[in-house]
Amino acid sequence: MKLSIRDLIICSLFASVTAILAQISIPIPFTTVPLTMQVFAIMLCGMLLGSKLGFISQVIYLLIGAIGMPVFAQMRGGLGVLLGPTGGFLVSFPIAAFIVGYFSQKYKSKLSVILGMVLGLVIIYIIGTLQFCLITKVSFMSGIMACVLPFAFTDLIKIGLAYVIGSSIYKRVNIGIRTC
């Protein structure tokens, strides 16, 4: 896989966008999982960059955070965050961006792209909730109550917003390989 300088710059920019949107963070009182704009960033990234570059941009984001730069929610960074209760959500970001990118590249209809975004969100929820449950030693149902239910409605709004904004950006600037 050969990447051009342009591809690397675009991936780095989208890793930065994710880091910036992670700082829009609202702590939820009954869970350790904060409400952030990261889901919006992941959906936008996959939609605009496609599967390969979307995946790479989120790997860059994770690597920057893993070495200790405070790019994760609430200005945190380090391996401890990735291995902690909310780390599964972060680790799922490249996979979700890949899925959204794949649907954006392969299918031309709005519904298919939005379906890809919903599938990406489900992947984030599954991986994130599983790690949350393993670390905190709670049941999967308790994990769903803490990690999914408080966020599902706002995350669906973020998906819609990402689609509308992503479509508008794509029409104006050719930064990726999205086809819808």
**pLDDT reported for residue 179:** 42
Tens digit of pLDDT for each residue in 49-77?
Answer: 999 999 999 999 999 999 999 999 999 99
The rounded distance, in Å, linking the Cα atoms of 83 and 64 is 15
Count the neighbouring beta carbons within 10 Å of the beta carbon of residue 139: 9
Question: Parallel, antiparallel, or unpaired: how do β-strands 35-36 and 25-26 relate?
Answer: antiparallel
In percent, the amount of the chain with pLDDT more than 70 equals 96
Instruction: Give the CATH number for residue 119.
Output: 1.10.1760.20
Residue 178 lies in a domain: no
The rounded distance, in Å, linking the Cα atoms of 134 and 48 is 34
pLDDT band for position 26 (cuts 50, 70, 90): confident
The rounded distance, in Å, linking the Cα atoms of 145 and 139 is 10
Note down the domain range covering 110.
Answer: 5-172
Structural domains in the chain (count): 1
**pLDDT reported for residue 180:** 41
The rounded distance, in Å, linking the Cα atoms of 136 and 128 is 12
Residues 6+ apart with CB under 8 A from 57: 10, 11, 12, 13, 14, 15, 18, 45, 49, 97
Q: Which of 41, 43, 42, 34 is nearest to 73 (CA)?
A: 34
**pLDDT reported for residue 177:** 53
Gap between the terminal Cα atoms of the chain: 24
Residues 6+ apart with CB under 8 A from 46: 54, 96, 97, 98, 99, 100, 101, 104, 116, 117, 120
Residue 179 lies in a domain: no
Contact call for residues 177 and 4 (beta carbons, < 8 A) = no
Residue 31 lies in a domain: yes
Residue 140 lies in a domain: yes
